[in-house]
Every structure is written in structure tokens, then in C-alpha cells.
Amino acid sequence: MIYIHIPFCKQKCSYCNFHFSTSLNFKDEMLSAMKKEIFLRKDELQNKNLKSLYFGGGTPSILSGDEIKSLIDEVLKYYDFNSDIEITLEANPDDLDKNFLKQLSTSSVNRLSIGTQSFFDEDLRLMNRAHNASDAEGSIKRAQDFGFENLSIDLIYGSPTSSLEIWKQNLNKTIALEVPHISSYALTVEPKTALEKWIANGKVSNPKEEEQNREFYYMIDFLKDHEFEHYEISNFAKKGFHSRHNSAYWKYTEYLGIGPSAHSYNGFDARSWNIANNQQYIRKLDSNLLAKETEILSPKDQFNEMIMIGLRTTWGVDLESLQNKFKEDILDQFQKEIQQKLADGILIEENNHLKIPEKHWFMADGIASDLFQV
């Protein structure tokens, strides 16, 4: 699978620390550089039959329909597309007007991931989103009118401008709009963001973990009642609408990341990442050089990653895979570490998979880190 990072946004959200630029001055040069990178790295993926192509960012919907098509065409020069390939475009609600959706509907894009975040203006103002509540709802309806049924929306819970009652209304609105996939995250205060500064200055109150916990578990019960499967801590899907792209990440599949700050993984022991600087990225590719660094993962690194990723999912960690992949010193220490957690019910073994019961998922990252090899 391939991930393409579009490093441009209209404006900076208050909570975001991803790599992007709000200047489009070098957009054409960036697209040319990305096409050059696709060419230079065309032999890195073993599997030339793609099951997933994902445009993330940044804001991919800041591009025109023709620009998106040109990137897809570039990938097609070197890869075959599986007959039922999932091609996802992340999009902001304010970009999804009729003209853009009309262009997109004639492309190969067949899945939209819409950055809704909330259906309430006060939440959206705190997040410094470029859209309002009306845009949030209207963009979903317009996308459906243009034939996009495979939709995912992002929702943020636990904001200081929100409450359990407002969160309930957000979820009810999502159900009413018949959205089949939801990615939902607690508002997190990341370093060097506007939100961190506002909290430090007392302008905004800090998100409350107990409130986020309450809203998280309400969401689980509510969405289950509406026939969603909770298949990863932050992801819920109706039958047939799981994100193939993200599911492949969580199952350690090889992937190629194109664009500034994009990461790649060879499916075994090597991870690489591109430089998070637009101008340096363009200059490197203009000289036919890759703007990436590579890290060879130690057995302990590989083990820790499998534990962290696997325990965030409903299918858990495949114990047979661990047995086949790692040596006795790592496995013996792992067995010692899990015994008390198994006894306490924080971990369970089921069909030779190690899992965290759903009632403890809010603490999953901490539980996983306790099992890490150091």
C-alpha cells in the first residue's frame, strides 16, 4: 500500500502538530517532487498489486481534482491496482463543494475521510477549524449525493468547550447522517501547539481525563447499539466499511510513504521517514536524491511495536507470530510480565491472541508500555 502526504493546509488547527505549510507558493514544485519520489522508489514495495492508496496530510482536498488524478496516474505507471482497491482522500468539510465533488467523482477516489471533528460551532472555533457546523453536516450530504457511500468522519471528544450532552448530540447526528465509519480521538494537548499555549496562559481549561473517559465509554456502547464494530481503539465501522489502509498498518504490512514527513516500512525490520521540511524535500528530489532517513529496527524495537499496535485492536497480538519471530530471552521476559495482568483481567488470552478487554481500552497505551522490552 502507498500513503501520499499532502503538506498543505488553509490554516493551522489549534491542536495539530503534523507537518504542513499554509503557503501554497511551491505547490507545483511539491507535486513534481512527489512524482519524482514515486519514480525513484518504485521498486521498494515487493507487492506491486496495490490494495490501498491513501492521501493524507495536511489537507489533500486543498488540491484540485486534476492534481489528485495526476498523482494517481503517476502511481499507476509503476503499480497495478487491485480490482477492489480502496483509494482514500482526507478532506475538510469546507473543501467539499459541488464543483470539487464533481471533479472527484470522475476520479478513482472511492473513499472520503472527512475532518468533521464536531457539529458544534463552539468546538470548531476552539479547534480553529476552517469550517463551521453547517459545513460539517452539508459536506457529508453533498458527498453522498455525488455517490460517495464509503465515508469516514473524524470526531474529537473531551474538549473543554464540550460536555457529555453535546457529545451525545454529535454521535446522534452522525447516526442520522448514515456515516458508516468513525475515527474518534480524545482532544490531546500536543507540544508547541496553540492549544498548549492557551492552556498555559489560562485562556482555555485543560481537557479533563475523567470526562474523556466517560465520553469514550458512552461512545462505545452507543455505537455498538447502532451496529458498529469497535475494531481499533479509535475506530468504529459498519460491516464492510473497515479502513483497509489502517487495518494493514495494524497488521504490520509493508507500505511506502511519499511526501515530506511520510513514513515507510518494509514489513520486517526497516523503517524510514522523509524530511519534514518542504523546501529541503523539493531541493533533494530536484537533484534526484531521496530526502529520507532509514532505521533498522532491533528485535526489541520490533517486539515493542507489535505489542503497541496489536493491543490497540480487537484482534490483539498473535502469540504464534511472537513465538516464530522472537528469541527466548524476549519471550521469557514477556511471559513474566503478562502473568499478573492476566490474573487481574487487564489482559486476556483468546484463540492464541493476547488482548486487552474493551473495558480497559482507554488505558491501552499504558498497559502496552508495561510490556515493552528495554
Question: How does pLDDT run across 19-55, given as a tens digit for each residue?
Answer: 778 888 899 999 999 999 999 999 999 888 999 999 9
If phi > 0 it is left, if psi is from -120 to 50 it is alpha, else beta; for residue 288 that is: left
pLDDT bin (cut points 50, 70, 90) of residue 197 is very high
Distance CA 178, CA 188 (A): 27
Give, in degrees to the nearest 5, the angle at Cα 80 between 77 and 85: 125
pLDDT at 15 over 90: no
pLDDT bin (cut points 50, 70, 90) of residue 150 is very high
- Report DSSP state, residue 294: E
In degrees rounded to 5, what are phi and psi of residue 55?
Answer: -100, 110
pLDDT bin (cut points 50, 70, 90) of residue 18 is confident
252 or 144, greater pLDDT: 144
| Averaged pLDDT, 213-242 | 96
Give, in degrees to the nearest 5, the angle at Cα 362 between 360 and 364: 75
Write down the residue that cell numbers 460536555 correspond to. Answer: 163
- In the prediction, which pLDDT does 11 show? 87
pLDDT at 138 over 80: yes
100, three cell numbers: 470539487
- In the prediction, which pLDDT does 258 show? 98
Sequence length of the chain is 374
pLDDT bin (cut points 50, 70, 90) of residue 109 is very high
- In the prediction, which pLDDT does 77 show? 96
7, three cell numbers: 503538506
- In the prediction, which pLDDT does 46 show? 87
- In the prediction, which pLDDT does 249 show? 80
pLDDT bin (cut points 50, 70, 90) of residue 267 is confident
Distance CA 110, CA 64 (A): 16
In degrees rounded to 5, what are phi and psi of residue 179?
Answer: -80, 125
Q: b vs e for 336-367, b when ≥16 Cβ sit within 10 Å of the residue's Cβ?
A: eebeebeeeebbeeeeebbbbeeebbbebeeb
pLDDT at 244 over 80: yes
| Averaged pLDDT, 253-270 | 93
Residue 342's identity, in one-letter code, is: L
pLDDT bin (cut points 50, 70, 90) of residue 277 is very high
Domains of the chain by residue range: 2-249, 298-374
Cβ atoms of 93 and 115 within 8 Å: the answer is yes
- In the prediction, which pLDDT does 44 show? 93
- At the fourth CATH level, the homologous superfamily of domain 2-249 is tm_1862 like domain (3.80.30.20)
| Averaged pLDDT, 204-227 | 95
Strands in 317-318's sheet, in edge-to-edge order, are 317-318, 353-355, 348-350
pLDDT at 248 over 90: no
pLDDT at 331 over 80: yes
pLDDT at 59 over 90: yes
The highest-level CATH class for domain 298-374 is: mainly alpha
- In the prediction, which pLDDT does 12 show? 87
Torsion of CA 121, 174, 210, 243, to 10 degrees: -120
Query: Mean pLDDT for the chain?
Result: 94
Statement: the pTM of the whole predicted model exceeds 0.85:
yes
- In the prediction, which pLDDT does 314 show? 93
If phi > 0 it is left, if psi is from -120 to 50 it is alpha, else beta; for residue 164 that is: alpha
Cβ atoms of 144 and 108 within 8 Å: the answer is no
Distance of CA 43 to the CA centre of its chain: 25
Q: Which residues fall within 8 angstroms of residue 282, CB to CB, at 6 or more apart?
A: 26, 29, 30, 33
